[in-house]
A and B are shown apart, each in its own frame.
Chain A
Amino acid sequence: MLEFNNVSRTFRGPEGVVSAVKDASFAVASGELVVVQGASGSGKTTLLLMSGGLLKPSNGNVLIDGQNPYELNPNRRSRLRAQKIGFVFQQFYLIPYLNVRDNILAPAGAANTRDDIKSRAAELIQRFKLEHRAKHMPSQLSTGERQRTALARAILNQPSIILADEPTGNLDEKNAEIVLSYLTASVEEGGAVLLVSHDARTTKYATRVLSMDGGEIVS
């Protein structure tokens, strides 16, 4: 599903070149929920963005379903992202002027929309227990409902892999469990999840845990 082969990423800053990720190599296969743990600034988010085809590595290569997204032109890379990757963020990033249903349907505009996409959205609304909120705007939702909406949006196009950046960071115990159980369910259905977090609660749902420190995967 996802492969990192000796991937490094450097940034040029005011204090010279900074290595955010150093020589990272790992793979996330179907049916795996891999948690990457580490302190702030350890390179977790950079790793996630490179996984999602949003940030080109300085060295090494990233493969999504065997395809290097950075060898594709920007439009094909965007299409690959729309079809193969689902993103979940700590801040949810729901579009404020769209209701729950339309937020869930947002990725459909980027991918080749299937005829049954609306019924798929309805199914997700039901699965994430958002029926009573379908017409509500993000500002009217609770934190847990927002993250469930974001999760439903991430899996609308049935991606190969879900990339989750601190998905439980803003959630209470109960809502964190709900979100993590949905991610686990997705993995059980054959999907793959790469979750970066410093939240210790995530590790008990992980099939594998990677630790990052100073840009390096240390275990």
Chain B
Amino acid sequence: MRLLHMLIREAFYRRLNSGLEVLAVAIAIASLLGSLTVLRIHDLHTEQMLSVRLAETQARLVELNQAMRKASLKLGFNLLILPEDQNLRDWHTDDYATKYMPEEYVTRLADSGIVTVRHFLPSLRQKLEWPEVKRTIILIGTRGEVPNLHKNPVEPLVQPVPEGTIVLGYELHQSQGIKEGETVRLMGQSFKVHRLHGERGSKDDITAWISLHEAQELLDKGGRINSILALKCMCAVKMEMAKLRESISRILPNTQTIEMGTRAVARAEARLKVKKESIALMKAEKESREQLKAQRERLAALLVPLIVAACAIWIGYLGFVNVKERDVEVGLLRALGYRSGQILFLFLSKSLLIGLAGGVIGSALGFLCGRQLAVVLETGMESSVTGAGAFQPVWLAMALPASVVLTVIAGWIPALLAAQQDPARILKRE
């Protein structure tokens, strides 16, 4: 008669007690594995969500890149043409050129055909003192745009200033209390206020615009300008900037060309902005998911030990009941010559078998329940997340020893009591 045979028979004979013990172990292990499954599915779902967001961001960036490329192509780029002997350091410092070039350069460039330019804006500008009000201003003489594409005229970007009128920057008209329609005097000449600009926060706020010819007369620079702004340039042939500069200086001798900003910069800035926003969005989402996970971990850390402890007490109680029910059997076995170690083995082996059975059932139950719970908790989840990949084999390797340890610890004291029972006392009592 092998002890293993005896304990299996006994476990089936007292199936209610054994079943309740298996159930207790299964609940304890299921709570543990269920929690792990919910957390694992949460991680998988987070990974899935973030990878979808990443793919969306990348697609958005590609789309934006394309859109910006197209937009840049349509927008073209801006060129500033200055006299060749103009010191660029001075120009950047003063914001106006101190050297001059012929006004007819603008029509020559427009007719050249090497560059397709939507708008030309010749100007004569100078920083000077407004003698009537005793303050420094930037005076710009402009004739408005010189459109080039006669075959396809477009709406002008900048309106010309009519002869005899003046346009004033914000700070100028605010400080002098000047209203539209009033007449102001500038360097001895009268100008009717044509328009007042709102605040721009730039040098435009201390700028006055008058017609180019009147500016040439006031500054004694007849037929001269000091810059041509070419807006919305689009090369008729694909041409690199260096070659373009070379071509312009051939058409307009003694000039230099500056590119005002590049498409690449604008595109990169836009892309960077979108990327930053997307990264911030993903970071916020990740943080929110991590917070949610931390909440669930805290809840599991509270509930699982409570459930395991309750189950351990339950298993211990059932163990005591089992020992009580079997005390005559223990007395008999001792009378038949069974050693106390064999009795201990008989009870602990039963605990081990129950632990294994409960562990297997609890693992399966925990995974299935955890998966169902995760489906309820996690919305918008793909079914692939809750598939077999959500189960970690290491959990089983961990759950089975854990369940055995649980039952052996909980059953240890009852088994010890059984092994130490005095057979004479039992048999005499009976």
**Taking beta carbons and an 8 Å cutoff, which residues of A are in contact with B?**
45-46, 49, 52, 54-55, 74-75, 78-83, 85, 87, 89, 91, 93, 95-98, 102, 105-111, 153, 165
**Pairs of residues from A and B, 8 with the lowest C-beta to C-beta distance, nearest first:** A82-B337, A97-B13, A110-B337, A55-B424, A105-B1, A54-B424, A81-B337, A109-B1
A32 → chain B closest CB, angstroms: 22
Are A83 and B332 touching (Cβ within 8 A)? no
Q: Which residue of A54, A75, A95 is within 8 Å of B339 (Cβ)?
A: A75
B1, B333, B341, most chain A CB atoms within 10 A: B1
Are B430 and A91 touching (Cβ within 8 A)? yes
B333, B336, B340, B424, most chain A CB atoms within 10 A: B336
Are A98 and B6 touching (Cβ within 8 A)? yes
Contact (A95, B329) CB under 8 Å given A55-B424, A109-B1: yes
Q: Which residue of B329, B338, B342, B424 is within 8 Å of A49 (Cβ)?
A: B424
Cα-based distance from A153 to B335 in the complex (angstroms): 12
Cα-based distance from A217 to B328 in the complex (angstroms): 29
Which A residue's beta carbon lies closest to that of B2?
Answer: A109
Task: With A45-B427, A97-B10, A102-B1 given, name 4 new contacts (CB 8 A).
Answer: A82-B338, A107-B1, A109-B3, A109-B338
Which A residue's beta carbon lies closest to that of B13?
Answer: A97
Which A residues are CB-close (under 8 A) to B424? 49, 54-55
> Does B195 have its Cβ within 8 Å of any Cβ on chain A?
no
Which B residues are CB-close (under 8 A) to A95? 6, 329, 332
- In the assembled complex, 8 residue pairs joining A and B whose CB atoms fall closer than 8 Å, in A order, are A49-B428, A55-B424, A74-B340, A78-B334, A81-B335, A83-B337, A91-B430, A98-B9
A43 → chain B closest CB, angstroms: 11
Contact (A93, B338) CB under 8 Å given A45-B428, A98-B6: no
Which B residues are CB-close (under 8 A) to A49? 424, 427-428
- Interface SS majority for chain A: helix
For chain B, which range describes its interface: under 10, 10 to 19, 20 to 34, or 35 or more residues? 20 to 34
- Interface SS majority for chain B: helix
Cα-based distance from A162 to B331 in the complex (angstroms): 17
Are A110 and B341 touching (Cβ within 8 A)? no
B298 → chain A closest CB, angstroms: 46
B167 → chain A closest CB, angstroms: 110
Are B339 and A110 touching (Cβ within 8 A)? yes
Are B338 and A110 touching (Cβ within 8 A)? yes
B333 → chain A closest CB, angstroms: 7
Which A residues are CB-close (under 8 A) to B13? 96-97
Are A54 and B337 touching (Cβ within 8 A)? no
Which B residues are CB-close (under 8 A) to A55? 424, 428
Which B residues are CB-close (under 8 A) to A105? 1
Cα-based distance from A111 to B1 in the complex (angstroms): 10
Are B333 and A110 touching (Cβ within 8 A)? yes
Are B423 and A110 touching (Cβ within 8 A)? no
Are A54 and B332 touching (Cβ within 8 A)? no
Which A residues are CB-close (under 8 A) to B150? none
B334, B335, B339, B340, most chain A CB atoms within 10 A: B335
Are B335 and A52 touching (Cβ within 8 A)? yes
B201 → chain A closest CB, angstroms: 96
Are A107 and B430 touching (Cβ within 8 A)? no
Q: Which residue of B1, B2, B328, B341 is within 8 Å of A93 (Cβ)?
A: B328
Which A residues are CB-close (under 8 A) to B337? 78-83, 85, 107, 110-111
Cα-based distance from A110 to B342 in the complex (angstroms): 8
Which B residues are CB-close (under 8 A) to A79? 337, 339
Within 8 A of A (CB), among B130-175: none
* Binary per-residue interface labels of chain B (326-354) against chain A in the complex, 1 for a CB within 8 Å, 0 otherwise: 00110111111111111000000000000
Cα-based distance from A95 to B430 in the complex (angstroms): 15
Cα-based distance from A87 to B424 in the complex (angstroms): 13
B94 → chain A closest CB, angstroms: 109
Cα-based distance from A135 to B241 in the complex (angstroms): 104
Are B428 and A46 touching (Cβ within 8 A)? yes
> Does B12 have its Cβ within 8 Å of any Cβ on chain A?
yes
> Does B89 have its Cβ within 8 Å of any Cβ on chain A?
no
Within 8 A of A (CB), among B1-34: 1-3, 5-6, 9-10, 12-14
Which B residue's beta carbon lies closest to that of A11?
Answer: B428
